[in-house]
Amino acid sequence: MKKIFIFMMFSVVSLFAFEHINIMNIDEKIKDKNVIVDFYATWCPPCKIMTKNLTKYEEVKNQNVTIYKVDVDKDPELAQKFGIRTIPTLIYFKDGKVVKQEVGVRSVPELQSNVKKLF
């Protein structure tokens, strides 16, 4: 029982390891930066896997990349603004402009490859 509780606590904590952005502050947060925004939901199992992969990527990523998260249930306006219909979805921004959008879970090597190509 303790193992299950600890696992559940880790899963919930890992969802909050990255700064969350919303419709009010996204423009400010992505301006003049290389950014990955993860659109997810807390109830979504693939989203939890993506969060784990982003956490691992965070440990090895280049300093010039910032990762933010958007909970589509808490900020549906932002999800709608970017046409998010499936989660998890990653959007890569360079200097405030969308350069790539991907649906589904990505591995750490895939994240590294995308960042190398896009930024």
Distance CA 11, CA 58 (A): 16
**What are the pLDDT digits (tens) for 79-115?**
999 999 999 999 999 999 999 999 999 999 999 999 9
Given this model, what pLDDT does residue 17 score?
79
Instruction: Kindly state the DSSP code that residue 94 receives in the 8-state scheme.
Output: E
Answer for the pair 36, 65: CB distance below 8 angstroms, yes or no.
yes
Query: How many angstroms separate the Cα of 112 from the Cα of each of 7, 50, 54, 63, 69?
Result: 27, 14, 10, 12, 18
Distance CA 18, CA 13 (A): 10
pLDDT band at 63 (very low <50, low <70, confident <90, very high): confident
Tell me what the pLDDT averaged over the chain comes to. 89
Radius of gyration (C-alpha) of the chain in whole angstroms:
14
In order of start, what are the domains of the chain with their CATH numbers? 2-118 (3.40.30.10)
pLDDT band at 77 (very low <50, low <70, confident <90, very high): very high
What is the CB neighbour count within 10 angstroms for residue 44?
16
**What are the pLDDT digits (tens) for 4-62?**
444 444 444 444 579 999 999 999 999 999 999 999 999 999 999 999 999 999 999 88
CB-based burial of residue 59 (10 Å sphere; 0-12 exposed, 13-18 middle, 19+ buried)?
Answer: exposed
Given this model, what pLDDT does residue 3 score?
47
1: tokens are: 């029982």
Annotated active-site positions, please? Answer: 44, 47
